[in-house]
Amino acid sequence: MREVKKLLPSEQLTFFGDAANAPYGERPTADIRRLVLEHAARLLQDCKALVLACNTATAVAANELRALYPDTPIIGMEPALRPAALIKAHPVILALATAATLRLEKFGHLQKIHAKNATVIKIPAPNIVRLVEAGLADSPEMDAYLDGLLAPFKQDPPDAVVLGCTHFPFAAASIRRVFGHNIPLFDGAKGTARELAHRLAADGLLAPKDAVGGVTITASDPRSLPLFTSLYFQS
């Protein structure tokens, strides 16, 4: 949402965080599908486009949503393996994501595409979501969790880390404390924002440049509203 806000400042944006059902990455696929379809149906009563700001939700439900709403731009996300694989010849890439994202076919397809050019090591990291949702994105608790999770790779660090969940960029400082501040981190947010801008322009749906944009933050658990506001409006 922050990247969309920067790229499309004239648009009226509605953010919805399903805090009551997080983390999606540990739910059964059928459960994730049901939640995404229900929330999408409600949001699309008022919105001209939908961004699935979740790699897991994208992998589970994007294709079905596009079939249900063929005239509406439905923009998904995927782990940024492509740019990570280009940083050097045959890099070693750690892919941090939820268990669901890593087990689903979409990630397997991406990994297969880049298998000849990069070594991709999958690391489920569900507690990053929990800690971010608890307001502990940059905290001793996050440091301790990631230090333990990534301990096998500290002596021989990877060439890049892919942040395969939209919660994970908020843990970037902790990841860099584990591997050093020069470790390249990749996430799909900027690419997703660019794709949204492209689709809105192609469909004639862009707001006028002189329009006054804004953001409305909503959540399934009202107790998460202060957290979402602080996360998404930080500089």
Please say whether the beta carbons of 30 and 54 come within 8 A: no
Q: Which amino acid is at 164?
A: G
> Catalytic site residue 165?
yes
Overall residue count recorded for the chain in this entry: 235
Q: Determine which one of 162, 165, 217, 219 is catalytic.
A: 165
Name residue 119's beta-bridge partners: 92
Question: Which stretch of DSSP H or E encloses residue 199?
Answer: helix 189-202
Q: Going by C-beta distance under 8 Å and a sequence separation of 6 or more, which residues neighbour residue 99? A: 25, 26, 124, 126
User: What is the distance between the alpha carbons of residues 33 and 224, in angstroms, rounded to a whole number?
Assistant: 22
Q: Residue 195 corresponds to which tokens in the numbers above?
A: 């794709």
Q: Residue 127 corresponds to which tokens in the numbers above?
A: 């507690």
Q: Residue 182 corresponds to which tokens in the numbers above?
A: 């020069």
| 3-state SS class at 11 | coil
> Catalytic site residue 47?
no
Q: Determine which one of 4, 35, 40, 54 is catalytic.
A: 54
Where in the sequence numbering do the catalytic residues fall? 54, 165
